[in-house]
Amino acid sequence: MADTNSVTYNAAMGQALVSAMRKDDSIFVLGQGVATGGWFGAEKGLADEFGTDRVIDSNISEAFEAGLAAGAAIAGMKPVINMGFGDFALIAGDEIFHKLAKWRYMHGLNVPMSAVVIFPIGTMNGAGPEHSSCTEVLGMHFPGLKVVVPSTAADAKGLMCAALREPNPVLFHSVNTLSFQRGDVPADDDYFVPIGKGCVRRAGTSATVLTYGSMVSPSLQAAEQLALEGIDLEVIDLRSLVPIDWPLVLESVRRTNRAMVVHEAMKTAGPGAEIAAHIQEQAFFDLESPVLRVAGKDVPLPQHGYLESLCIPSTAEIVAAARQLCLG
Amino acid sequence: MADTNSVTYNAAMGQALVSAMRKDDSIFVLGQGVATGGWFGAEKGLADEFGTDRVIDSNISEAFEAGLAAGAAIAGMKPVINMGFGDFALIAGDEIFHKLAKWRYMHGLNVPMSAVVIFPIGTMNGAGPEHSSCTEVLGMHFPGLKVVVPSTAADAKGLMCAALREPNPVLFHSVNTLSFQRGDVPADDDYFVPIGKGCVRRAGTSATVLTYGSMVSPSLQAAEQLALEGIDLEVIDLRSLVPIDWPLVLESVRRTNRAMVVHEAMKTAGPGAEIAAHIQEQAFFDLESPVLRVAGKDVPLPQHGYLESLCIPSTAEIVAAARQLCLG
Amino acid sequence: MNDKDVSRSTPGAEAVALMYRRMAITRAIEICMAKHVRNNRFSGWWHPGEGQEAAGIGATAAMQQDDYLFYQGRGCSWAIGKGMAPAPILGDLLGKPSGATGGKGGGVPHWSDYSIGVMGEGATLGSVYPLAAGAALAARLRGTGQVALANFGDGTAARGTFHETMVHAAAWKLPLIYFCENNEWLVGTPLKQVSPTENIADYAAGYHIPGVIVDGQDALAVYQVTTEAIARARAGEGPTLIEAKVFRKHGHYAGDPQHYRASNYLDTYRDPLDLLGTHLGDDQAADLREQATADVQSAYEAALAEADPEPDTIFKDLYYG
Amino acid sequence: MNDKDVSRSTPGAEAVALMYRRMAITRAIEICMAKHVRNNRFSGWWHPGEGQEAAGIGATAAMQQDDYLFYQGRGCSWAIGKGMAPAPILGDLLGKPSGATGGKGGGVPHWSDYSIGVMGEGATLGSVYPLAAGAALAARLRGTGQVALANFGDGTAARGTFHETMVHAAAWKLPLIYFCENNEWLVGTPLKQVSPTENIADYAAGYHIPGVIVDGQDALAVYQVTTEAIARARAGEGPTLIEAKVFRKHGHYAGDPQHYRASNYLDTYRDPLDLLGTHLGDDQAADLREQATADVQSAYEAALAEADPEPDTIFKDLYYG
Ligand SMILES: Cc1ncc(C[n+]2csc(CCOP(=O)(O)OP(=O)(O)O)c2C)c(N)n1
Ligand SMILES: Cc1ncc(C[n+]2csc(CCOP(=O)(O)OP(=O)(O)O)c2C)c(N)n1
Ligand SMILES: [Mg+2]
Ligand SMILES: [Mg+2]
């Protein structure tokens, strides 16, 4: 890569936002504390540069925020709203999964409609059962939205750049535990990671791990551990959940003949259910063992840090599942 | 069965409700038009018998209705609320999937908490994109609720009887197209279909069809058609989606070695994703072909009756998929 | 005539004639649809607005063409009032490709025409409050002077989005008009049974905005109060809550037996078309009605004759590009 | 003393002493937690309520033991006021099995004790309005005379559930009290920037219910207005909206640098414990504080010494039976 800087994940999102807002007057940002506090730092200074006309604090009203985004989008603006927590998707479900997702469809319109809805997701050592959920599966089930989950600072920037140019509403899931993680981020204002493209984070031959977001790093750690045992995992970071990069996924699975999905979201009817179901549908006769899922336990997330940690996949669990996949 | 009457699906739900309300003062019914109009007929006459203290019309406020049910339940009542349409689960998402589902858990309480939330689901010839959705997968992903979908009048009564005795909140999905379908319904006031038990609607040997709700009848029709070709489908009506009767499902699949899921809900990340993923996880080496899914198209439901019909599985599609499953 | 003429507070003769013409078209569509539904050829859900047309016609007459309208959709007075032709409406109700939604909308209508500010309906009632605020904010950010109007029923005033949106719209003085058609019913439930106030306008006080009650059967009265509210909004003075007292002449849905209603309920009904007609010459009114009926009939016949939409319609418009 | 004593409008000396004791316990927990958080041993999110204790203490003193309380959870004055002991609170904050939630709750607190009407908190703010209405309806249906109280912040008054719930509670005259603690902030956003009204009580007018403003630093004044509201509710006269003007002494969360606040903001702070203390003898106040500090310290140490919860705690209480 040409020119890069060491930047945190959240600041990388912020870079994308700032450079896009400088060029495109139709972008504005709205959410609780986006002007005064910031969503864990991503838009620090945004209000200073663009003023509180374009960087707008709202009151406590997630349904309003998401509905406003839909209305502004059909009126030709590009709203970027921060919903605070993935859990709050359930407060604004009608506005996101009925209005943003299908307003055009149900009105029979073929027009651009841009809106970026930011959902910080996942555990962060004790935020509790209503402030820690991974709700990205909702965007997979209800059609009409694009859905991304960056796992690196560079992707946070690249996918935000893409989301801000996308003529469809995007659910942009930022990962809480990665917020302040640094990475090499291209300096290019237009650094662009296309929505719908996954990438191979580690090439391998023994089995394919499909993962994204908070679980990319533990999956890579698991792969390094298993390499010592002669198990050579291929780790794919999906990056987008709608659309999923099926060509990449299926090519890999057909080559390794084994697949497992790893995510923090709860297992039952979670993203991994679709991924596993689809892989076995499309590549059944290439598979030498079932597609496994390592995922969050099917329980609300306790606030206690230790109990919480038991609810989400550990590197050890990934290692164990991969061993079972390859040997068992 | 001993004593049965021919009763419509909705009236059968009503029978369960009436007999339970006569015995149990803590049950009350609330929803838009439940006193004055009725949810497509189920509680006709309910207000006459029990008065408008216990059969309560609400204003247009789904979040309030579901939240009220949670509050009444923890105060020891057994609320039965009718949410009007499955689509409206997204309006009351916080109240249903955070509050009803996990209030006890997050408060560390091990106490009974009874509430029945009725969601009429599915297409009915032109109710449109926001009044036709099958949203039962939400209750599968978010833990803490039981989830049922009766496919016959007898089950509508039996599962409602069970729901009204259940110490956990139940999402009771009634199927719009079945509302006025008659069936033989046991006269017994306490006719009880246990939550979590599926049943074999047609025994067979060639493949197992896992279905529920509106798709049971087309699946059976498909089976009759295929019987003429020598394909002998076993059709299982799951009846409950939380918990799913895995022993029944897996025993059947291990015997037939082939499985497909049929439901009206949209395919991607729908109930069938979990069912297919779980089956291949548990019974991979018993399977002779991939678990197939025949499901609603991944689009909002158009209001036009003809277009709508193209979005949900037809008997012909089920037949074609079953042929592929068994022969292809 | 052009739309500028109707922005004065007392509409001129031409403006009144245009309002009458549009109300007559709405009425003709209502009558046509009622017949159509009786003849059982209808797959959608039709919520009749016959007799309740004055509010939509009066309010839209006060709007500029580029002002944003979000309607609730009892009947079609709002869409016709804002300038939609009968053809895309009837095409839609009949589920034909010529309909505004090409077969995707229908009885719970989703007609829209962005070129004249008809932005559409949310079938989950009350969902358009924040959308209208979003459009109002867009107008403010671009400095175009447009306003947004959200139309809704008395029952729908109970939705939480009513409150969340007005908290912000009033705090930020957004150019947003709340326009309630209070017909005192939500399906079969009388409003008074589930509302602490008969007057939806009473909620305005908490938001420190004007709450205005108007005779919703009188299109000119509606025109007047809406014109004032829009002038306030354009001047940066913020939202107004207008409550039009209207009359639901028919059942909630086409075919509703209305067991819940007194048998003489029609005694107090006043016909909005007749009321507006007193401001026109008899001949002119009759001509306009005749013309409207003929226009609607031919649009209806054209739609009937049309083929059904292509199957692949179901995959269109989900994603752009 | 028993809880009946505090139900009269002017509390007796014993009742005042009990209020003081409970406020002192709350204060001691606040101080203990602030230190604990500074020492970095805390996994949960703590929203300090030090300096804002009078509202919870005054309001709960007016409630019967079996009245239903839903609180918002800045600090713990509401839970302590309603009669919870320090042990289950501190055990919870430290994530220990002895805590009220056995390790599942914490900084965004979910303490509850149904036996004394502490029903809990929803961490999605504003979610408890309808729950409180459900409890109030339960009380009405059973004819027990209980009331339900929903406590919330000024920001949380913007939630749609505020409106949906009060529409019904007021229409049905449910025994429900809305109790707002207006500290003029939602995190770092000043209320006036996102609200059309400084006074949350102004919303009462639209619902045709009383809206009462009270000095929220003065526990006895809060006690008085809450007693009146509860009397109305028990008499079947319906809900009251109480707004207590309170002072947020600390940051939104423990550790919040509060860059957004004027440096002299504490100039106008009045300490609720000192205010209530003027109604007690100096010695009595000092004794009660000392006792409270000691009680809290020993509960804290006991909790610290406790082992972490068992791993299988995570699977408990999801389903009953
Ligand atoms: C959120 C939501 N809840 C319920 C419904 C079902 N519903 C359709 S029309 C209606 C009554 C609407 O009453 P009102 O707002 O007064 O309008 P009116 O029908 O009187 O014109 C209801 C409850 C809906 N469409 N959306
Ligand atoms: C529905 C919801 N939105 C946002 C949040 C995040 N949040 C936690 S506290 C808070 C501010 C609350 O303000 P207020 O109600 O005035 O109470 P205060 O903090 O001042 O006591 C916010 C926005 C939340 N917990 N729930
Ligand atoms: Mg009405
Ligand atoms: Mg506050």
Per-residue pLDDT of chain C (321 residues; tens, 9 = 90+): 334 444 446 799 999 999 999 999 999 999 999 999 988 766 668 899 999 999 999 999 999 999 999 999 898 999 999 999 999 999 999 999 999 999 887 667 899 999 999 999 999 999 999 999 999 999 999 999 999 999 999 999 999 999 999 999 999 999 999 999 999 999 999 999 999 999 999 999 999 999 999 999 999 999 999 999 999 999 999 999 999 999 999 999 888 889 899 999 999 999 999 999 999 998 999 999 999 999 999 999 999 999 999 999 999 999 998
Q: Looking at the predicted structure, is the pLDDT value of residue D4 above 70?
A: no
Residue B138: CB atoms within 10 A of its CB come to 24
C153 — contact with chain A (CB < 8 Å)? no
Assess if residue B191 is contained within a domain: no
Interface with chain C: mutation pick from A106, A110, A117, highest number of C CBs within 10 Å = A106
Indicate if A262 and A305 belong to the same structural domain. yes
- The verdict on D45 touching A (C-beta cutoff 8 Å) is yes
Q: What is the pLDDT of residue C108?
A: 78
User: Do A131 and A14 share a structural domain?
Assistant: yes
**Which one, of B275, B290, B277, B295, lies nearest residue B324 by Cα?**
B290
Q: Which is catalytic among the residues B65, B131, B166, B308? A: B131
* Cα torsion through C221, C225, C228, C232, rounded to 10: -170
How confident is the prediction for chain A on average, in pLDDT? 96
pLDDT at D9 over 70: no
What's the confidence (pLDDT) of residue D191? 98
Of C70, C56, C75, the closest CA to residue C147 belongs to: C70
Q: From CA A272, how far away is CA A274, in angstroms rounded?
A: 5
Domain end: B121, B154, B186, which one? Answer: B186
CA distance D132 to A235: 49
The structure tokens listed for B58 are: 């609400």
Q: Supply the DSSP symbol for C142.
A: H
For the stretch B164-175, pLDDT in tens is 999 999 999 999
Shared-domain flag, residues B204 and B306 = yes
For chain C, the residues whose C-beta falls within 8 A of a C-beta of chain D are 158-164, 166-168, 170-171, 193-197, 202-209
pLDDT-based confidence at A38, cuts 50/70/90? low
- Cα–Cα distance, C46 to C76 (Å, whole number): 10
User: Chain A closest CA to D122's CA: distance in Å?
Assistant: 8
Q: What is the 3-state secondary structure (H, E, C) of A136-200?
A: CHHHHHCCCCEEECCCCHHHHHHHHHHHCCCCCEEEEEEEHHHCCCEEEEECCCCCCCCCCCCEE
Instruction: Tell whether A111 and A255 lie within a shared domain.
Output: no
Q: Which residues contact C88 (CB under 8 A, 6 or more apart)?
A: C98, C99, C100, C111, C113
Collapse the DSSP code of B319 into the 3-class scheme (helix H, G, I; strand E, B; otherwise coil) and give the result.
helix
Closest CA relative to residue B105, chosen from D150, A177, A304, D129: A304
Q: What is the ipTM of this complex?
A: 0.97
Contact A279/B at CB under 8 A = no
Nearest chain A Cα distance for residue B11, angstroms: 30
Give the count of beta carbons closer than 10 Å to the beta carbon of residue B228: 7
Under the banding of pLDDT at 50, 70 and 90, the label for residue A292 is very high
Number of Cβ within a 10 Å radius of residue C281:
11
By alpha-carbon position, which residue is closest to atom 18 of ligand 2? D153
Count of CB atoms situated within 10 Å of the CB of D283: 8
In a domain, A271, yes or no: yes
Mark out the alpha helices in chain C (DSSP H runs): 13-38, 53-61, 77-81, 86-93, 128-142, 160-171, 191-194, 204-207, 219-234, 272-277, 282-305
Q: Name which of B138, B144, B268 is nearest A274 (Cβ-Cβ).
A: B268
Instruction: Say how far apart CA D93 and CA D281 lie, in whole Å.
Output: 33
- Cβ atoms of A11 and A187 closer than 8 Å: no
Name the band, by pLDDT with cuts 50, 70 and 90, for residue B36.
confident
Q: How many CB atoms lie within 10 A of CB C261?
A: 15
Above pLDDT 70, what percent of chain B? Answer: 98
Residue of B nearest to C307 (CA): B306
Phi, psi of D187, deg, nearest 5 = 50, -115
Q: What is the pTM of this model?
A: 0.97
Residues A122 and A67 in one domain: yes
Which residues make beta-bridge pairs with B200?
Answer: B236
Residue A8 Cα to ligand 3 midpoint, Å, equals: 52
Which two three-digit tokens encode residue A199? 């990438």
Amino acid at C26: T
The H or E element spanning position D287 is helix D282-305
Residue C57 · residue C22 · CB < 8 Å = yes
Select from D159, D167, D203 the residue whose CB has the most chain C CBs within 10 Å, as the one to mutate to test that interface. Answer: D167
Q: Which residues in chain C have Cβ-Cβ distances shorter than 8 Å to D159?
A: 160, 163-164
Same domain, B269 and B153: no
A224 carries an active-site annotation: no
Q: What is the average pLDDT across A61-80?
A: 98
Question: Does A52 share its domain with A161?
Answer: yes
Identify the pLDDT of residue C40.
73
| Beta-carbon contacts of residue C281 (< 8 Å; ≥ 6 apart) | none
Mutation test residue for ligand 1: of C50, C72, C154, C186, the one with most atoms within 8 Å of CB: C186
Minimal CA separation from D259 to chain B, in Å: 32
Distance in Å, alpha carbon of B106 to nearest chain A alpha carbon: 7
Residues from chain D that touch A266, judged by Cβ atoms under 8 A, are: none
Cβ atoms within 10 Å of D318's Cβ, excluding its own: 18
**Cis before B243 (ω within 30):** yes
**Is A194 within the bounds of a domain?**
no
| Among C226, C72, C82, C228, residue whose Cα is nearest residue C161 | C72
Q: Do B205 and B298 share a domain, yes or no?
A: yes
- Contacts C161 to B, Cβ<8 Å: none
Instruction: Report the CATH number at residue B247.
Output: 3.40.50.920
| Distance from the alpha carbon of residue A147 to the mean position of ligand 3, in angstroms | 38
Give kind and range of the element (H or E) at residue D192: helix D191-194
Rounded to whole angstroms, how far apart are CA atoms C96 and C105?
Answer: 10
CA distances from B312 to B122, B219, B272 (A): 9, 13, 14
Q: SS3 for B238?
A: coil
Distance of alpha carbon D3 from its chain centroid, rounded? 18
- Render pLDDT for B85-111 as a digit per residue (tens, 0 to 9): 999 999 999 999 999 999 999 999 999
- Answer whether A302 sits within 8 Å of D103, measured CB to CB: yes
According to DSSP, the β-strands at C189-190 and C185-186 are: antiparallel
Q: Could you give the 3-state DSSP secondary structure of residue C138?
A: helix
Task: Flag whether B21 is in a domain.
Answer: yes
User: Both B151 and B43 in a single domain?
Assistant: yes
CB contact under 8 A, C196 and D209: yes
Q: Indicate whether B173 and B208 sit together in one domain.
A: no
Site from B34, B64, B91 to mutate, D interface, most D CB atoms within 10 angstroms: B64
Q: Cα dihedral angle (B222, B227, B230, B232), rounded to 10 degrees?
A: 80
The structure tokens 């500074």 sit at: D38
D68-70 and D148-153: which strand pairing? parallel
Pair (B228, B284) in one structural domain? yes
pLDDT confidence of residue A328: 78
CA of A49 to the centre of ligand 2 (A): 26
Residues framing ligand 1 (Cβ under 6 A): B 32, 60, 62, 84, 88, 91; C 74, 123-126, 152-156, 183, 185-187, 248, 252
CA of D189 to the centre of ligand 3 (A): 37
CA distance D201 to chain B (A): 21
CB contact under 8 A, D104 and A61: no
The pLDDT score that the predictor gives to residue A87 is 97
Q: How far is CA A284 from CA A275, B208, B260, C308, in A?
A: 13, 17, 14, 39
CATH number at residue B69: 3.40.50.970
Cα gap B10→A16, rounded to integer Å: 54
Residues B325 and B323: their CA atoms lie apart, in Å, by: 5
Cβ-Cβ contacts under 8 Å, A125 against chain D = 43
Which of residues B186, B220, B240 is at a domain's end? Answer: B186
The last residue of a domain, from among B158, B186, B214? B186
Q: Which CATH number fits domain C9-254+266-307: 1.10.1060.10, 3.40.50.300, 3.20.20.80, 3.40.50.970?
A: 3.40.50.970
CA atoms lying within 13 Å on the CB side of residue A39 = 33
d(CA A103, CA A115): 13
Range of the domain at B164: 4-186
Give the pLDDT score at D177.
98
In this model, does residue B42 exceed pLDDT 80? Answer: no
Determine whether A278 is an active site residue. no
Pocket test for ligand 2, best of D161, D186, D249, D253 (most atoms within 8 A of CB): D186
With respect to residue B193, please indicate whether it lies within any of the assigned structural domains: no
**pLDDT bracket for residue B41 (50, 70, 90):** low
- From chain B, the residues in CB contact with C44 under 8 A are 126, 128, 303-304
**Distance of CA C191 from the midpoint of ligand 3 (Å):** 7
Q: From the candidates A62, A65, A136, A166, give the one annotated as an active-site residue.
A: A62
Task: Please give the C-alpha separations between residue D198 and each of D59, D163, D195, D269, in angstroms, as whole numbers.
Answer: 22, 17, 7, 19
| A193 belongs to a structural domain | no
What lies within 8 Å, CB to CB, of D104 at 6+ separation is A129, A300, A302, A303, A304, A307, B105, B106, B107, B108, D110, D313, D317
Q: Are C194 and D133 in contact (CB under 8 A)?
A: no
Identify whether residues B15 and B148 lie together within a single domain: yes
Ligand 4 mean position to A33 CA, how many Å? 13
First to last CA, chain C: 38
Q: Does D91 touch chain A (CB under 8 A)?
A: no
* Cβ-contact C241, C212 below 8 angstroms: yes
Helix segments in chain B, DSSP class H: 9-23, 46-54, 62-74, 93, 101-106, 137-141, 153-163, 216-227, 246-256, 271-283, 305-311, 315-327
Q: Please give the tally of structural domains in chain B.
A: 2
d(CA C106, CA C90): 9
**Whether the Cβ atoms of residue C240 and residue C232 lie closer than 8 Å to each other:** yes
φ, ψ for residue D260 (rounded to 5)? -80, 0
